[in-house]
Chain A
């Protein structure tokens, strides 16, 4: 029994925690009741429920997070164009107001549901669950959830996604990971977007952005892309294809996946199934594209390398050979 966080407290054993005779040390003096429950427990349960829906249909679900205006919708438009006829895509859009982003996606012939949050600065699992009544999961390969543009709040709410993708546009500054550590620590993939502007914005050095990202102990891949010119897009699409295949393989094996870094839960649940060997081989070939190759071994990782199409690259391999930590075997704590 994990006594650290209460992760294993269920309706079946809760009486042990509440019964002073059974667990005297769990109840402190003064009539206080020990709870040890995540504050976002209700959200997390709804998120798990969403994830079951997604897995039932073998749909890969990605949570896109970034500042407003860093190019989430533009990236989706380019992705939809590139994967037309290859992958079936749907999108859930989160914004405070307007259907504008959903309209842009629909114009590409893809189902999009807009969640307008009013004043809420983030999506939560309940909002996504409600949206699922408007988005048929049958036959989908990938569902993108475009979160509300905000580098703070969305990081704290699990939606049921399998991966977090965090965008950092070059106009924002390369120190953003250090300024918003909770958000960038939660990223399974960081995309440096608007790479076409790198020449014009000399203040932004992809190396510094990657350094700041690594300083959050994040071994995740980093890709530099421009949805406008298509630079770096092939590598992003390969990552996406590999993730889609990995999701189908996981479902076939009866497994699921939560984003690598969970707020709070992960640290407490990491009873070290981690066998991590991280190698970094920074290759600098000098030009706009910065790669980092995820050998973050989910099985069936056919992450195809597609270099050589956009000229020279700057590579950074972050080989996170994480044998076990990529999976959630739904262990009982």
Chain B
């Protein structure tokens, strides 16, 4: 699963941060993961202990910020909720929308033990 690759990238980022901040340990990391990112938060949670074993992020808590799927309609201008498999405008039904939220795959913040 590609969540392991993503987890390894996350652990590398956490290790870099810890080094730059002269921290001993990463105790928590906050992620913002949208449904349209292609990454499943639960699978990240499962992969994280393996990817972080014996690193500065070993035992860190992963927390997720919700990122709803939202689209802005190019035709009527409305901003509405949408389903991942159907990104049409919730107001007028047009398909010509722009995703404004829901594909995030971000490391938002970390908590460090110095």
Contact = CB atoms under 8 A, between A and B. Distances in A.
Contacts of A41: 9, 13
Interface in A51-100: none
Contacts of A124: 5
A320 to B, nearest CB: 9
A156 to B, nearest CB: 4
Contacts, number: 140
A12 interface: no
B55 interface: no
Contact of A35 (B34, B71, B74, B107): B107
A157 interface: yes
B80 to A, nearest CB: 12
Nearest to B28: A32
How many chain B residues sit at the interface, stated as a range, is: 35 or more
A40 B17 contact: no
Given A39-B6, A215-B88, A276-B74, A5 B12 contact: no
Nearest to A320: B96
Contacts of B56: none
Given A217-B95, A217-B98, A264-B37, A36 B86 contact: no
Contact of B99 (A18, A153, A217): A217
B40 to A, nearest CB: 10
A120 interface: yes
Task: Determine the main DSSP class of A at the interface with B.
Answer: mixed
A274 B97 CA distance: 12
A153 B38 contact: yes
B47 interface: no
Nearest to B8: A42
A153 B96 contact: no
Contacts of B38: 152-153, 155-156, 182-183, 263
A32 B111 contact: yes
B84 interface: yes
How many chain A residues sit at the interface, stated as a range, is: 35 or more
Interface string A17-51: 01000000000101111111111111100000000
B85 A216 contact: yes
B76 to A, nearest CB: 14
B87 A32 contact: no
Given A153-B38, A267-B101, A35 B87 contact: no
B96 A217 contact: yes
Contacts of A35: 13, 17, 107-110
Contacts of A33: 17, 21, 109-112
B105 A264 contact: yes
A328 B2 CA distance: 27
B34 A264 contact: yes
B87 A37 contact: no
13 contacts: A5-B104, A32-B109, A39-B9, A39-B105, A124-B5, A217-B87, A217-B96, A217-B99, A263-B36, A263-B37, A263-B105, A267-B99, A278-B96
Given A39-B10, A39-B105, 5 more contacts: A33-B21, A39-B39, A40-B9, A215-B86, A266-B103
Which 8 residue pairs across A and B have the least CB separation, nearest first?
A: A153-B2, A182-B38, A178-B85, A156-B38, A217-B87, A217-B97, A214-B95, A181-B85
Interface of B: 1-2, 5-6, 9-10, 12-13, 17, 20-21, 28, 30-31, 34, 36-39, 71, 74, 84-88, 95-101, 103-112, 114
Interface of A: 5-6, 18, 28, 30-43, 120-122, 124, 152-153, 155-157, 177-179, 181-183, 185, 214-217, 219, 263-264, 266-268, 270, 274, 276, 278
